[in-house]
Structure 1
């Protein structure tokens, strides 16, 4: 691994329901050498790792461009999409919280 960048501020998205929100985040991991991993093996490793976790689930879910990817649903409904990035120089992890109601007094446009 050459570098890892986890965005400190996520994006709040609306969910169905009044004042319902979802937090999203992103982590990027850059390879130090081209073709450092086999994307299919990465997906298989993640799916098999979560196979023994009763509170979590993972399934292979190719991205629209056909690139191998995996969708993990963790405890409490947190979600993760993992795939190699478009230019094949690293791995991206998109994360999603379950939907929640934004507390009174919190403005939806603030940074979280």
Structure 2
């Protein structure tokens, strides 16, 4: 990512990465991909923000989710990405992929329903143009 990243570029890159991760899920298991068109900005530091949103995949009932999340973990580890693993509050297997760009991360886990995989993400950090209020939808 270049140093002078715009929020639009950060959003586009992050959405593309969400779909790259989604493409690793077996096609025959995927029923629906719901990528949020808008997200929110969160502070990285005093002067920078990152764009945050999610993509939720509905998979066929009975699909085992943990092996799919594990395969995504293995893919990114094999390609040299920093990946951490834990369990969320519901004890579901969860991975976090952290590219080198400050602020950028992707969390892949079971979703709110038993047949969902959620990809929550934050873009690389960027500086908003002067006068742009960081609240609201982006």
- Give the alignment's TM-score, normalised by structure 2: 0.69
d(CA) in 2 for partners of 1:60, 1:35: 23
Deviation of 1:90 after TM superposition, in Å, equals 1.1
Task: Tell me which protein shows more helix as a share of its residues.
Answer: 2
Q: Any stretches of 5+ residues in structure 1 without a counterpart?
A: none
> Which residue in the other structure is 2:64 paired with?
37
Is 1:68–2:96 an aligned residue pair?
Answer: no
> Which residue in the other structure is 1:4 paired with?
33
d(CA) in 2 for partners of 1:79, 1:86: 20
> Which residue in the other structure is 2:125 paired with?
99
Deviation of 1:101 after TM superposition, in Å, equals 2.2
- Give the alignment's TM-score, normalised by structure 1: 0.82
Q: Is the 8 A contact 2:65 2:117 kept in 1?
A: no
CA distances 1:33-55 after superposition (whole Å, capped 9, x unpaired): 3121231x12321221112323x
Alignment root-mean-square deviation, CA = 1.8
Task: Tell me which protein shows more strand as a share of its residues.
Answer: 1
Deviation of 1:57 after TM superposition, in Å, equals 1.4
Question: What is the count of residue pairs matched by the alignment?
Answer: 108
Deviation of 1:106 after TM superposition, in Å, equals 1.6
The residue correspondences of 1:7-86 to structure 2 (distance < 5 A) are: 7-17=36-46, 19-31=47-59, 33-39=60-66, 41-54=67-80, 56-77=81-102, 78-86=104-112
Q: Which moved more, 1:99-108 or 1:66-75?
A: 99-108
